Structure formats: structure tokens, C-alpha cells
Copies of this chain bind each other. A is one copy, B any other.
Amino acid sequence: MKMFKSDNTSGVHEKVLKAMSEVNFQHDYAYGTDATTKKAIEKFSELFGKNVDVYFVATGTAANVIGLSGLLRPFEAVVSVNSAHINVDECGALENFSGSKIIYVPNNDGKLSIEDVKPLLSVVGDEHNSQPKVISISQTTELGTLYTLDEIKEMAEFAHSNGMYLHMDGARISNAVVALNTTFKEMVTDTGVDILSFGGTKNGMMIGEAIVLLNESISPNYKFYRKQGMQLLSKMRFISAQFLAYLEEDVWKNNAENSNNMGRYMKERLMEFENIRLKSDFKTNMIFAYMEKGLIEHLLKSFGFYVIDEKEGLIRLVMSFDTTKDDIDNFIDGIVDYYNVK
């Protein structure tokens, strides 16, 4: 059975799994000093069109928290929207690891605007207040929306002109690149993002998250932050091999294209029902829809998905790299059943 709970209920793309087997030769240097890791990092530099520093870690939370902590002293703060993963889905990991505060602003569509941040800067220099130092945005956002390239660029310029950094949580970055018909270089490097949490796990990898540093002036101390963050894996080559396989176009891109396409297909099928309302015009693999309570209960008997807001009847459906039209048709059949019986 396929699920729609999240894109991490899927397994692993066969090429990724195969690559892991292929580095299971004899012995190799531990802790990321091996040749496979070196190659994988070079592949990142190629994709982003500049020499980037890359640190592989085991979870998206680790990529976000360690990445951000390297930019923050404990009296400094990250600014994000309320719904940001770092704010509501990481059990306070940033606060505990770095001692820093997250200043979050109320938000409806998951996108932070410059106007949201401006008023927060009135405290700069005042010792009574945590000092805003990093702006963190998610691309794709947690609410399935996307920043345009111009919006990212403007946010980066705003951050830099105010002595701040721009961090991007890219847990679903491939879906964004595909949806915007752009490249990693154009969307991340050229817009001026300083640091990126690059996510592969949700798009067909097994354990594949990376901290990507694009700003050369950023702390050269990330190897220490990663180790202190308990994320220095000894047999690193098995992570690196995944990335090497994944970063080929026919994996990351094909996977994201499929889940995005399935997102569109789900959207279209849902729009057949007049009692179901879509939250917005989504372009990636996450669909947010409002349904009546009875229907949600009916569907939960057979399908996995999140109920985001019970009162409002808002649910989230996430397509995976291996989701098929049949999977979606089955789900739609469940809706039809409900209305027929009813």
C-alpha cells in the first residue's frame, strides 16, 4: 500500500540502494575522509556552480539545526514563519543545541516576506533582545507553496544589507527546482542563499541530508559543529554513495518530476468533487484540501495522511517518487464510495 502521509513513507530508489552495495568493498577511511565522500562533495559543487562546503548528516533536523547553529551566537535569533519545520517540527532542537531563539511570525501560506522581517529589526543593538541574525525560509514551504527566484533574491539582498544570513530549508528542494523549471544553481547559488539544508531522503534516498555552505565567509568550523551535533557518521561512504547516485538527473529529477506530476494529478482529481476545496494552487507534491469530517474519517480507514486542522477539515496529501496514478485513483475511489453511500 502506498501512503500519502509524507514522502518519507516510501522506500529507496533502486539506483541509490545499488550504489550503497557497491561501496561495500573491503576497508575505507572513516568519518568522511574516503574517496566516495570526496566525489560526492565535488558533485555538489558541480550542481551548484561553485565550490561549496558540504557536510552530510542523518536527518533533516540535523541539517537545519547544525547549519543554523554555525551562524549563531546564543544571543542571536533565527527569523522564520510560524509553520517552519525548525519552529514546530524539531522538538526545540535549535534552541537546545545553539541556545538561540527562533522569532516566528504568524503566517498563512508558509512564505516569509520582507515586510514580516522589517519590524523585527527595530531591536538591533538593544541588549534586552535576541538579535535577528539569520532569516530561514523553506523551499518548498511546509504549506506546499513556493518562493519565486526573484523573491529569494530579494530576501537574500535584504538579509545581507542588514548584516544577516539567508538559510534555506530544502527538505523538498528537488520538487521546487522541478516545479519552477530551474536549476539548483539558479535557485540557490545565483539568488544569494548563504546556507542550504539539502534534502534527499524525501525524494528517494535512504538517509540523505546535507548542509551546503555557499558563502565562503561562513564559519570554517562546521566539522566541529557536526561532530558536536552527534552527526559524524563513521561509515560515511554509505551516505556519500547514496548522494552520488541520487545527484544524477535520472534520479533526483525524475523522482521529483513524478511526485510533482502525481501532485497535479491528485489536485485535478480532487477538483472533480464540488464539496472538496483546495487550499491554494499547489505546484509540487503536497496537496492541502478541505473536506467534510465524515469523508476524512472514511478515508482514514484505508489511507494514511495527516489531518492538519480537525476543525477546519484541512488535510495534507503528499505524493512520493513512486506514487502512481493507480494509487491516486484508489484514493479517489474512496471518496466516490463515501459520497455514493452517503
A-side residues, CB < 8 A to B, are: 1-3, 5-6, 8-12, 14, 17, 20-21, 23-31, 57-62, 65-66, 69, 73-75, 77, 88-93, 95-102, 106, 127-131, 201-202, 206-207, 221, 223-235, 238, 304, 320, 322
5 A-B pairs whose Cβ atoms sit less than 8 Å apart in the complex:
A1-B26, A73-B221, A74-B96, A93-B229, A128-B227
- Are A99 and B106 in contact (CB-based, < 8 A)? no
- Are A59 and B231 in contact (CB-based, < 8 A)? yes
- Are A61 and B232 in contact (CB-based, < 8 A)? yes
Pick the contact of A30: B9, B62, B131, B322 (CB < 8 A): B9
Compute how far the CA of A104 lies from the CA of B11 in the bound complex, rounded to whole angstroms.
37
Copies of this chain, how many?
A: 4
- Are A238 and B128 in contact (CB-based, < 8 A)? no
Among residues of B, the one whose C-beta sits closest to the C-beta of A96 is: B99
Known: A8-B234, A69-B74, A91-B127. 15 other contacts (CB 8 A): A1-B26, A5-B30, A9-B27, A11-B23, A27-B320, A60-B234, A74-B96, A75-B92, A77-B92, A93-B228, A93-B229, A96-B97, A207-B238, A229-B230, A230-B230
- Are B227 and A58 in contact (CB-based, < 8 A)? no
Compute how far the CA of A182 lies from the CA of B335 in the bound complex, rounded to whole angstroms.
58
- Are B30 and A90 in contact (CB-based, < 8 A)? no
Q: Given A88-B129, A95-B100, A235-B206, are A230 and B30 also a contact pair (CB < 8 Å)?
A: no
Pairs of residues from A and B, 4 with the lowest C-beta to C-beta distance, nearest first: A96-B99, A8-B234, A75-B224, A62-B230
Cβ distance A101 to chain B, nearest Cβ, rounded Å: 4
Which B residues lie within 8 Å of A77 (CB)?
A: 92
- Are B91 and A95 in contact (CB-based, < 8 A)? no
Pick the contact of A10: B12, B27, B226, B233 (CB < 8 A): B27
Q: Given A24-B12, A99-B96, are A91 and B234 also a contact pair (CB < 8 Å)?
A: no
- Are A127 and B232 in contact (CB-based, < 8 A)? yes
Cβ distance A65 to chain B, nearest Cβ, rounded Å: 6
Compute how far the CA of A25 lies from the CA of B130 in the bound complex, rounded to whole angstroms.
33
- Are B128 and A90 in contact (CB-based, < 8 A)? yes
Cβ distance A134 to chain B, nearest Cβ, rounded Å: 13
Compute how far the CA of A232 lies from the CA of B201 in the bound complex, rounded to whole angstroms.
13
Compute how far the CA of A230 lies from the CA of B233 in the bound complex, rounded to whole angstroms.
13
- Are A224 and B2 in contact (CB-based, < 8 A)? no
Which B residues lie within 8 Å of A91 (CB)?
A: 75, 127-130, 224, 227-228
Compute how far the CA of A255 lies from the CA of B17 in the bound complex, rounded to whole angstroms.
24
- Are B89 and A129 in contact (CB-based, < 8 A)? yes
Which B residues lie within 8 Å of A88 (CB)?
A: 128-129
Which B residues lie within 8 Å of A322 (CB)?
A: 26
Q: Given A30-B6, A92-B101, A131-B224, are A207 and B233 also a contact pair (CB < 8 Å)?
A: yes
Among residues of B, the one whose C-beta sits closest to the C-beta of A219 is: B73
Which B residues lie within 8 Å of A98 (CB)?
A: 74
Pick the contact of A97: B2, B10, B97, B102 (CB < 8 A): B97
Which B residues lie within 8 Å of A73 (CB)?
A: 221, 224
Which B residues lie within 8 Å of A75 (CB)?
A: 91-92, 96, 221, 224-225, 227-228
Compute how far the CA of A98 lies from the CA of B75 in the bound complex, rounded to whole angstroms.
11
- Are B228 and A59 in contact (CB-based, < 8 A)? no
